[in-house]
Amino acid sequence: MQALELILLLFSVILLSTVLDQLVSGLSLPLIQIAMGLLAALVIGEPFALTIDADLFLVLFIAPLLYDESRKVSKRSLARHMSSILSLAIGLVVASVFAVGFVLHWLSPTIPLAAALTLGAALGPTDAVAVTALAKTAKLNERQKALLSGEALINDASGIVSFQFAVALVVTGVFSIREAATAFAISFGGGLVCGLVLGVVVLAVTRAVRSVGLESTVFHVTFEIFTPFAIYLVAESLHVSGVLAVVGAGLLVTLAPLPSTVYTARVSLVSSGVWEVLSFILNGVVFVFLGSNLPSIVTNSWEQSADPLALLGMVIAGTVVVVGVRYLWIVIADFISMKRGGLPGFPSLRSVLIPSLVTTLGGPKGAVTLTIAFTLPYGIIGTHGQSIRDELIFLASGIILFTLLLANFIVPRLAPFQVSAQEKTRENDVRAAVLRLLIKSMTTKFETHYPIALALFVSRYRREIAELTAGDDFATANRQLRLELIFRQREFIDDMLSQNTISVATHHALDHTLERLLQVMKHRRSGAFNIKGMWAFITSRIRIFLDDHSSDKAPDSVEQLRHARIELEKFAIAFLESATIDSENAENVRKFLLREHNDMLRQLEQSSHRQYPAIPETQDASNTAHDPEIPSRTMGEQLNLLEVEALRLELGCIQELREDGQITLKEAQMLRDEIYLLQMNLSDLGTH
């Protein structure tokens, strides 16, 4: 029962940290969670004392987090900057071990050199979680992202292996460079090879399950979660690096090509959501764990130290050494990279020093460092004959906090996160290009079959294009005038109903169309979906779907509905012509809307009194336009059909633009992901 209470308490703290993350600006989530862990340990006390075996900590938290990070890292950037990444992940770790070790031993002779080297090894790894959090607050270029993410994936293994050798030196007092190098190569290389082999096994199992028809999202996502734990344990049982095995397998699984279908998109969507929640919880536990251990670490080390203030000075000195060595290493690496890139002349200092500082401070220490530090043996004795384990853990914790603070407060100021006007314009232009091509495709296929429903869709796409290409001021004015028009149209049809000009069923059909327009205004596609927007979209689709299938609300006749729509369009035109306009943008919007509603009125007046036949999925429109055997569709069914077909055609438009070189592969994938999400929502709601 006590364990359950502790778990619930831990989850409560993590949930509260998400709220504070929205309220507290300028402070990253890891620092908030560390502070909350510290506060919980001070207020709650003993019930919140979190202790966990270090080996269990690695497999339970670090393995799945690194697997998730390896799945999200840019493989192309990783390959392009692999030499620099290996330099940081191996060379810099080794350099930091000796730099920190010798400096701390020089500052405090009571710490044996071997013990100081163990602390230097523990400080080798950077924190992948903190790097991910940093990417949301700082503008990192492609090289910086590749170096930080790739380094964080690999240097855990090099840091752990270096630490193990340093501990062996402390315990036995014997060290062989040849044996150490051999063991390092076996652990490092063996971990990668083991991970690649197990990654092949994972792919084989996944494809075997799919080949026998077991297309289960639950299975695939559950298997993904199980994978990093199994790989880590297998690799460790073979005495190679479990961390690198997890990373290698994650990279291989991600690189494997998958068929681009709605089902694979569904698996990808569910998998991404599950991993996002899982990684958030694991990250939260890690940083809360760090914060909750700070009081005991500080108390134990300060009580045992003859000069507590000297410990704080050593934390600052250790931070300076870690950051200084890292900065010097990265400056040299960036200079070499620029020269290899074929830049003419000698790179200027400014072009290297500031970006190198961002990369330096962007790799803070974190959970792995603390985990390694807690595995220090209790038998580490200083020259004064007393255990210095708590003192070393205090130094590691202090340096972790200092590097996190530097990353949180300095990096966003050196490289502030903002979307440039050029990037925003490019994204809008790409979306507008797809919509223009979609209008052409939809018109070609459906103009002679569903002109009224098609006109509704085309007007929506034209509005989106206008908002995308005319700027934020036009979009704001457009939204305001459209919303006012929809509300006035609703008042108009209410008056028509009260005067018995239209029936209740026709009123419902008109109100239903206006509700569709209102939902599009509120939740139009303008980039990635957030949870709130997605939920609003789904609930609105459920309501529309249920309304469309309510037999008792069908309009009395097609002719009555067409006549009512004509009157509604005439009202909209009259309202727009008499509306008070107070800006140039509003005037442009009014002209745009007048043209749109006049087009709709013309379509309604020219349309036939009969319903147009539906187009079967297996036949072409030209062969079915006058087939009496095909049943007619209501307006709601026509709109649903066009909505499904529009998404299918939009995928073809994206591919066409991609093949013509008008959009990049990354842009095409972003747009496809949005469409897959919409297709799944429509499919789940039964829209056919």
Residue range 598-654, pLDDT digits in tens: 877 777 776 644 444 444 443 344 343 333 333 456 666 777 788 788 888 888 888
The tokens describing 31, both together, are 């620092």
Position 584 in a domain: yes
443 shares its domain with 394: no
Q: List the end-to-end C-alpha distance of the chain, in Å, as a whole number.
A: 50
More confident residue, 635 or 355: 355
| Torsion angle of the four alpha carbons 7, 8, 13, 19, in this order, in degrees rounded to the nearest 10 | 130
Residue range 180-196, pLDDT digits in tens: 778 778 888 888 899 99
492 shares its domain with 414: no
Highest mean pLDDT among 64-73, 253-262, 405-414, 590-599: 405-414
225 shares its domain with 122: yes
Neighbours of 260 (CB within 10 A): 12
Average pLDDT of every residue of the chain: 76
Distance CA 97, CA 33 (A): 28
Ramachandran category for residue 259: left, alpha or beta (phi over 0 → left; psi -120 to 50 → alpha): beta
Residue range 357-369, pLDDT digits in tens: 989 998 898 877 8
CA distances from 474 to 467, 566, 576, 590, 665 (A): 6, 28, 16, 11, 30
439 shares its domain with 580: yes
Q: What angle do CA 584, 588, 589 make, to 5 degrees?
A: 115
Give percent above pLDDT 90 in the chain: 9
Residue type, 31: L
Distance CA 86, CA 151 (A): 7
More confident residue, 679 or 356: 356
Inform me whether the pLDDT recorded for 334 exceeds 50: yes
Distance CA 337, CA 71 (A): 26
Is 76 exposed, middle or buried (CB count within 10 Å of its CB: 0-12, 13-18, 19+)? exposed
Position 623 in a domain: no
Of the listed ranges 309-323, 385-399, 411-425, 543-557, the one predicted with least confidence: 543-557
Q: Residue for token digits 């010097």?
A: 328
Inform me whether the pLDDT recorded for 242 exceeds 90: no
Neighbours of 589 (CB within 10 A): 27
CA torsion sign for 152, 158, 159, 160 is: positive
Q: What angle do CA 412, 73, 360 make, to 5 degrees?
A: 35
66 shares its domain with 125: yes
CA torsion sign for 264, 266, 270, 275 is: positive
343 shares its domain with 442: no
Q: What angle do CA 209, 211, 216 make, to 5 degrees?
A: 50
Position 323 in a domain: yes
266 near 87, Cβ under 8 Å?
no
Residue range 45-103, pLDDT digits in tens: 755 655 666 677 778 887 888 888 787 777 777 788 888 888 998 899 989 999 999 99
pLDDT of residue 136: 64
pTM of the predicted structure, to 2 decimals: 0.64
pLDDT of residue 109: 86
369 shares its domain with 426: no
pLDDT of residue 471: 64
Position 614 in a domain: no
101 shares its domain with 173: yes
CATH of the domain at 68: 1.20.1530.20
SS (H, E, C) 383-401: CCCCECHHHHHHHHHHHHH
- Convert 660-673 to b/e letters by CB count within 10 Å (16 or more is b): eeebeeebbebbbb
- Convert 514-531 to b/e letters by CB count within 10 Å (16 or more is b): bbbbbbbeebebeeebee
Chain centroid, CA 611 distance in Å: 46
pLDDT band at 232; cut points 50, 70, 90: very high
Residue range 497-536, pLDDT digits in tens: 888 888 888 888 788 778 766 765 654 444 333 333 433 4
pLDDT of residue 627: 39
426 shares its domain with 404: no
Of the listed ranges 213-227, 348-362, 420-434, the one predicted with least confidence: 420-434
The tokens describing 146, both together, are 């590749």
Position 613 in a domain: no
More confident residue, 660 or 351: 660
319 shares its domain with 427: no
Position 12 in a domain: yes
The tokens describing 281, both together, are 């919880």
442 shares its domain with 333: no
Distance CA 159, CA 123 (A): 8
| Torsion angle of the four alpha carbons 379, 383, 389, 391, in this order, in degrees rounded to the nearest 10 | 170
Residue type, 430: V
Collect all residues with Cβ–Cβ distance below 8 Å to 297 and sequence separation of at least 6.
Answer: 390, 393, 394, 397
Of the listed ranges 442-456, 511-525, 584-598, 661-675, the one predicted with least confidence: 511-525
User: Domain range holding 669?
Assistant: 422-608+633-684
SS3 381: strand
**Total structural domains within the chain:** 2
Distance CA 589, CA 580 (A): 12
577 near 598, Cβ under 8 Å?
no
Distance CA 541, CA 566 (A): 26
Last residue of a domain, one of 418, 441, 467: 418
Q: Which of 463, 511, 516 is nearest to 489 (CA)?
A: 511
pLDDT of residue 535: 38
Position 431 in a domain: yes
Average pLDDT, integer, range 305-330: 88
- Convert 449-484 to b/e letters by CB count within 10 Å (16 or more is b): bbbbbbbbbbbbbbbbbbbbebeeebbebbbebbee
Position 627 in a domain: no
Last residue of a domain, one of 418, 452, 486: 418
Distance CA 431, CA 528 (A): 13
Inform me whether the pLDDT recorded for 262 exceeds 80: no
The tokens describing 673, both together, are 């992901």
Radius of gyration in angstroms for the set of CA atoms belonging to the chain, rounded to a whole number = 31
Collect all residues with Cβ–Cβ distance below 8 Å to 100 and sequence separation of at least 6.
Answer: 116, 117, 119, 120, 123, 318, 321, 322, 325
245 phi/psi in degrees, rounded to 5: -65, -45
pLDDT of residue 678: 65
Helix (DSSP H) and strand (DSSP E) numbers for the chain: 28, 0
Last residue of a domain, one of 390, 418, 446: 418
pLDDT of residue 632: 56
429 shares its domain with 381: no
Is 389 exposed, middle or buried (CB count within 10 Å of its CB: 0-12, 13-18, 19+)? buried
649 near 441, Cβ under 8 Å?
yes
40 near 294, Cβ under 8 Å?
no
